Structures are given as C-alpha cells and as structure tokens.
A and B are shown apart, each in its own frame.
Chain A
Amino acid sequence: MATKLPKVPVVIVGMGWVGGIIASELTKAGISVVGLERGKSRDTQDYYHVHDELRYASRYELMQDLSKETVSFRNTMKMRALPMRTYGSFLLGEGLGGAGVHWNGQYYRFLPYDFEIYSKTVERYGKKKIPENMTIRDWGITYEELEPYFVKYEQMAGISGETELPPNIGKMSKPFATGPMKKSPGMKLFEDAAKKLGYHPYVIPSANLSEPYKNPDGVERAPCQYCGYCERFGCEYGAKADPVVTVLPVAKQTGKLDLRMHSNVTQIIHDGKKATGVTYVHTPTGEEYTQPADIVILAGYLFTNVRLLLLSKLGKPYNPETDTGAVGRNYAYQVNGASTSAFYEDREFNLAMGAGALGSSIDDFNGDNFDHSDLKFLHGANIRFTQTGLRPIQYQPVPAGTPKWGAEFKKATIHNSNRVLSVAGQGASMPNRYHYLDLDPEYKDAFGQPLIRMTFDFEDQDRELVKFIAQKTKEIADQMGGTKTEIHDSIKQYNIVPYQSTHNTGGTIMGSDPKTSVVNNYLQMWDAENVFICGASNFPHNSGYNPTATVGALAYRTAEGVQKYLDKGGSLV
C-alpha cells in the first residue's frame, strides 16, 4: 500500500530542462513545487574527470540504465517489436538535468514555417503536394506568439550568437545574450564557400557561453574553454547551459522547491477528467508513495510522457488503423545521412579542439526557404560544419574503400584524424500515419509495466530529402579547398543500431483540435485540464534543427499557463 503524502499545489515529473524551467518560474512566483526525478543528483563537481571518452561516450555514463527500462522497436506494424537492448540510434538521459546535461548546446529557434507547416504548404503548393499518410499539421501556435518565450530562454541560458542573422530565419525581438563563439579555420572555410555560392552562413547560436555571463536571475557562469567534451558529457565549468547550473539553483534558492531524487513515477492518478496526483516508487527502498497535487506536470523525455499517459489510461490512445485518438501520434525523428567529407592532404586542423555548439550553418535549404514545386519532398535541412571535438575511439576517418582493420586501416585513420572536414545536413522529419508510439504487448520494465513501443521507418520523403541535401553539401564542400571530397547521399531503412540523433519528437502533440492533439497551446491537456505536458513530445513534426530551443520556449509558455490556471482554472484556450 502506497504511503499518502500531504497534498501540494504542483508536482513535476522529470527534472530536466522542462521541469527545471517550470520549477524555477513557479517557485519565483511563490508557488510550492514538488520535483520528482528518478535518477541521481548531479553538479559540476561530478565532472572533474569527465574527459573520458570510454566512460561517457562509449559506456554512456550519464544515460538511463536500460536494464531497468528501454524502448521496443519495429520498422512497420507487420514486424514484431524487439527491445533496444543496448544503446545505438539515440541516448536517453537520466538524473538531475536529464538530457539537458549531455546535449551539445546547439540552439536554433524553429522557423516560422514550422509552426504553420500545413497552411503554408497548402497555400504555396496546394493540398496535393502533401503525400498520402504524411500527417503534417499546424501547431496551434505561431512563431510570433512563441517569440517572447524564446527570448526568455536565451536570456536565462546566455545563448551566444551573432547580432545580424540571415533574413531567411525567424526575426528576433532581442539579440542573443552574448556574442558569437570564436571561429575556427574550418568554420571560415565553410562560410567563405557558402557565401561564394550565394548562401547565407551564420555562426551556430550556442549554449556554450562565448564570454562570462550573468543572467537575469543573477546566475554567473564562466565561458567555454573549447575543450571538446560536450555531447554525452557534463560541463565541469558550467559553461554549457544545463538545468543544474541555471534554473535549478534559482528554484532551490526560493525554498519553494521540494526536490526528490530516485523517485520514479509509475502512475498519474485521475478520475477521467482531472488528475489528483501521481504514484511513485522511491527506487533505493522500493517504497511506494502517492503525491496528491492540484496540478500534475509531465516534463520527461517524450517516451516517458507518452508512456505515463498510456499506463495511466489518461487521454485517448492513437490508433493508426482508424486514424483516431491522440496519445502516441506523430512520432518523428531527425533525418541525417546527407553529408560530404572534404579531405586535405596539404594541411591539418585542430579537430580535437572544439565545443558542442561550435560551427557555422546555412538555412537556404531548410523549411520552405527554397522552391519545392519540382521536388519530391517537403521541408529540408540546416546544413552545417561543426567542430564539436573529435575523439579517437569513436572517430575513425577513412576514405571509401579502406579495409576495416589491419595495417592499412591503422595508417589511414591516423593519417586522416585531423584532415577531414565534414559538411552535413540535419534533415527535418515529417510525421506519418504509421509512425507512432504505443505500449509493447510483451516486454516489461523493472516494475513489471509495459515498455513503450516505437513503430518508425524512413519513407520516400526522407530518402529524397537526403539525396537533394547531400548535393548541396557537396557543392559547398567542393569550394572549401580540400584535395578531394566524398559524398554520402543515401539512407535506407531506419536502423536502431548506429547512433544518429537524440532528437526524438511527438506522441503528446500540441494543436488546436482536441480530437487529434493531446495538449492545447499552453501545453494543457485537452482531456484533463490540470495536467500539463511539455517537451519535444509536443512537436507535431521535427524541423531541420536541434530541438532544445523550441522545447525551452514551450517550457516558459507552460509555466505561464500553469500560473494562469492556478488563478482562474478551466481551459486556457
């Protein structure tokens, strides 16, 4: 029997970026918050020995323990889903700060086109342009409406970027909090080549601070040292914005945040109309607790958000056969695979040096910034050169045709370790009627509850996008003065083995139709007005960008919605 705890105004499930931002905003407004995090606590002191590729990058030190819970996967509904037994395609964060600790810090606001993708596509090309089963939709919020929340995130995190940005991305009402990152020689080569071709390169906006910064909450942080250990690592300097060094200390300082670690939420308690709290297990003891609350906020990674709704039988599960229901709909990912490598026989670059968000990019072939009339795909990709710090275990650069081991392999990898610059596209992922999340019928987690099951594959849309974007990467790389270039322009089936991207989206999507979306544009659940769900699980599709900027903006929007709801109750739209 679960121990029933005293009721609180707000309980948040998950203490990553979303949970941290909402906790910070609410506690600053004087509202008491209980934060439940299933992993352990963390701070910068834990990263004293973080420059360890084996432990953090290859053995996934900061990631969720898959022996307790994983995801099952199949490409199509005809296949049997099998559990992801070990990490590959994407990495699930765990512990204080969540995936916000191990990100690279690349910060892109989604394009105005993204939020109105359906209307704008139909307006320019007609309804017939959208292929059968592609379930793109407007988000129920516009770029202009979300703009002030982007600003809040940027000022809090100290996002570094240029003052003058290209005209083909969303307008900013306030410049970035700090100046752009330093430019490495590779970035200069990329930018010069892109400019020569008439494109609009800019330095990637970065959450790795370019200079010392004090944010509006009074948090001071040191600048990035370009040490080359960001993605999969925590930042020992606190230079990379993460929840642990930005929003969580602010929430803690109010004395209004009751942060409980090792607290794994297993159920949302509800009567079909409203939630009354959550049940969680304190994992070290196995003790079960019920935490009653006026408001329940789901702030987990998308798999957690979707799974908790389905396990708790809250909301209508999506059924791809009938195309009805909402929970689990529009799972999307990131379409990588378009790239060109430039090899330099005559020079070496300092490629071990870098930062997670160090690089330059163009959006000339992202969103609807180019004419798709004669193309067999929608949307596009941000094309970039990044210098994130290349490490010797996971980076084995060889020209095509090199043996996979032995003397020639060794010689080629050593020779090329500082001689290759890669120009790559980060492709948008369009939703499909048959790409979705539901509960696995067979596999269970450590508590005996069903795993989440993913059904996902690449479609013609994705293969066409990769083919087109790859040509553009080659065009640029060919201008970068290398000895030769090699293009990669094809993707096949989606395969969960090789690492691709931890940009999984959808499942609790936002929208203006209560039948086919889970939350309204305050991220308030249509089917339970005192439940708010926020994260990349809200995205109806994924753009050709990293998701954190838009997740952060939505979190600020949610915090505002929660305060409105506490004031007046009812549906906020």
Chain B
Amino acid sequence: MANDKPNQPQDESRRRFLKYSGTALGGVVLGGVIGGLVGSNLKQTEKETAPEPGKSGTAPENKDYNQALMFFNQDQFLTAEAAAERLFPKDDLGPGAKELGVAFFIDHQMASAFGTNARDYMQPPYYKAEATQGYQLVFKRRELIALGLDAMNQYSNTKYQKPFVEIAPEEQDAVLTAFETDKTEIKDVPSSNFFAMFLNLTLEGAYADPLYGGNRNMAGWKMRNFPGNQMSYTDYIEKEEFVKLEPLSLHDHLELG
C-alpha cells in the first residue's frame, strides 16, 4: 500500500497522535505528553502546504555547503569514498556509499566526540586482551581510521603501483580483503580492527538519519523500505499486508524558528 499523500504524512501522523492521546490532553498531566510537543503540533497543522520541490524529500539541485571536510585530508577522503563504495556498491537497487555521502558521514563522525572516544574508558594501563574482553587499543578511532586509510594507499601503491582510488574494483576488493583478514598490519595494530570499524561506519553512513551527512535524500532508507521517523503506526501494526510509506527524517520533524 503506497501512501496516497507522500508530502503530508507528517501532519497526518501528528493528527493521529493527537487523536489517540486526547484523554491525556484533557486531564491533569503529571507525566507523559508535554506542552512543547503538543504546542508545536498545533502550530504545524496551520501550515499544511506541501513542501516545495528542492526542499526536504527531493534531491537538491544546488551545491550542498555542508559537504566539506572536518577531519580527513583530501586523499583520505577519496580513499574512504572509494573503499566505502566497494563495501556498499551502487547497483540496480539504488545508490552506493559514494552517492549516499558515506565518506562525508565518516569524516564528520571522526571529527565528533565518537572519533575521539570521548565517552569511552581510555585510562591506562593497556594490556593485550583476550578476544572476549573487547577493544583495548590506545589508538583513538580517528587515529585508527586515518592510519588505516593511509595504509590502504601504501599497500595499493606497493602492490599495484597506484593509489587505492586508481586501481580496478576487483583490485580494491583484494586490498580490502587483505585488511579484513589481517594480511597486513597498521602500526602493529591488526588491520582487521580498522576494517571492522570502517565497515561499521559505512553501514551507519548508509542508514543513519541524513542529518549526519550520509543516507543522502534518505535513499538508503528508500532502498530498504524503512520509513524513518514516523510518529505513529497505530493504524498499521495489525495489517497483514506490507505498508510502504514515504520515509520522513528528523528534519521533517523540526519546527524552524
């Protein structure tokens, strides 16, 4: 079942929410539904016009000034983009990592608290761990990713006399496999650590909310028929048939000042 009003599901789901929560809104609300949420719902329903082309939900034709680098150098960016594309390639189902902006996503993540392991326990001492004890490296994520991308280029230069971005796709896969299976190492760190982290980042970049720089135009979600950020599925949860909804992002849910 396709949604018959792809441009307005946001308001519909909000109305549905208001309908179902009616009794709570009428009474003394100690917990639960709060004023801010309700207030913005009401405001939103007043401007029920469909978004103009070029706004959220459709491909912007202009430059995206958010697409620039916060952490990678130019080579690292291009290597990340090419490597991520092999892990999550464009095919007849839809775009690959490059088109989805995955390399921008990874760059931005490396510049964030996640890249510097800000919320991880990083106190010494560091010992060699059993596999059951998890990540025990003194390297921060951004250091491992940057060194790993450099190492892939070096490996590629040594083996194919060309940087990673210039070798054939099959050769790129061979380099990635070498890193995945610890056929090389990065400053004494098993290369599989880098590979696993990079693969994870690639999938995150394909499927995280577009606000983080990947999953461009929600194309990752569209391929999977993932509806993104919807307010309510109360009307669909019992349905036998598959319900295909136009996805919504967090941007669609933001009240702009």
Contacts and interface: CB of A to CB of B under 8 A. Distances in A.
Interface in B134-168: 134-136
Nearest to B33: A222
B20 A223 contact: yes
A249 B30 contact: yes
B104 interface: no
A189 B22 CA distance: 33
Contacts of B20: 212, 222-223, 225
B118 A238 contact: no
Interface stretch (A25-33, A494-502, A528-536): A494-502
A347 B233 contact: no
A348 interface: yes
Nearest to A51: B229
A391 B234 CA distance: 18
A245 B132 contact: no
B173 interface: yes
B194 to A, nearest CB: 14
Q: Which label, helix, strand, loop or mixed, suits the secondary structure of the A interface?
A: loop
B32 A222 contact: yes
Given A54-B204, A404-B199, A391 B250 contact: no
A46 to B, nearest CB: 10
B161 to A, nearest CB: 25
Interface string B201-228: 0111011110110000000110111111
24 contacts: A54-B208, A58-B204, A82-B133, A82-B136, A85-B136, A182-B238, A184-B237, A185-B238, A212-B20, A218-B30, A220-B24, A221-B32, A223-B20, A225-B20, A228-B233, A350-B236, A350-B237, A393-B203, A410-B89, A410-B96, A418-B225, A418-B242, A444-B123, A497-B131
Interface in A376-400: 391-393, 396
A195 interface: no
Interface string A217-241: 1111111111110000000111100
Interface string A76-91: 0001101111101000
Nearest to A71: B121
B70 interface: no
A70 interface: yes
Interface in A79-126: 79-80, 82-86, 88
Contacts of B50: none
Contact of B130 (A79, A239, A405): A79
B231 interface: yes
B96 to A, nearest CB: 8
A238 B33 contact: yes
Contacts of B88: 405, 409-410
A347 B253 contact: no
A93 to B, nearest CB: 14
Interface of B: 16-17, 20-25, 27-34, 36-37, 86-89, 91, 93, 96, 114, 117-123, 125, 127, 129-136, 173, 176, 180, 199, 202-204, 206-209, 211-212, 220-221, 223-234, 236-240, 242-243, 250, 253-254
A219 B230 contact: no
Contacts of B229: 51-52
A454 to B, nearest CB: 11
Contacts of B24: 212, 220-222, 238
A253 B242 contact: no
In the A-B complex, the 5 residue pairs with the closest CB atoms: A245-B31, A238-B32, A222-B21, A225-B232, A392-B207
A226 B242 contact: no
Interface stretch (A8-16, A60-68, A147-155): A60-68
Contacts of A185: 238-240
A84 B134 contact: yes
Query: Which of A65, A239, A405 has its CB near the most chain B CB atoms (within 10 A)?
Result: A405
Contacts of A345: none
A82 to B, nearest CB: 5
A217 B20 CA distance: 22
Nearest to A252: B30
A43 interface: yes
A541 interface: no
Contacts of B87: 405-406, 409
A45 interface: yes
A352 B129 CA distance: 37
Contacts of B91: 407, 410-411
Contact of A352 (B27, B30, B173, B227): B227
B209 A53 contact: yes
Given A49-B250, A49-B254, A350-B237, A85 B221 contact: no
Contacts of A253: 30
- Chain A interface size, under 10 / 10 to 19 / 20 to 34 / 35 or more: 35 or more
A219 B31 contact: yes
B89 A54 contact: no
Given A82-B129, A225-B20, A227-B230, A497 B199 contact: no
A83 B240 CA distance: 47
A413 B199 CA distance: 14
A59 interface: yes
B120 A67 contact: yes
Query: Which of B32, B88, B130, B134 has its CB near the most chain A CB atoms (within 10 A)?
Result: B32
A185 B238 CA distance: 6
Contacts of A199: none
A225 B114 CA distance: 31
B233 A393 contact: no
Given A348-B242, A353-B233, 7 more contacts: A66-B120, A74-B133, A82-B133, A185-B239, A350-B236, A350-B239, A409-B88
A220 B28 CA distance: 7
A479 B3 CA distance: 33
Contact of B121 (A52, A83, A409, A414): A83
A52 B209 contact: yes
A250 interface: yes
Contact of A70 (B22, B121, B225): B121
A215 B159 CA distance: 70
Contacts of B25: 222
B134 A88 contact: yes
B130 A75 contact: yes
A340 B131 CA distance: 26
Contacts of A219: 30-32
A219 B29 CA distance: 7
Interface in A459-482: none
B226 A52 contact: no
A421 to B, nearest CB: 13
Contacts of A190: none
Contact of A84 (B21, B36, B121, B242): B121
Contacts of A565: none
B31 A223 contact: no
B250 to A, nearest CB: 5
A496 B221 CA distance: 30
B21 A45 contact: no
Contacts of A43: 34
A497 B122 CA distance: 16
B36 A220 contact: no
A493 interface: yes
A212 B21 contact: yes
A417 interface: yes
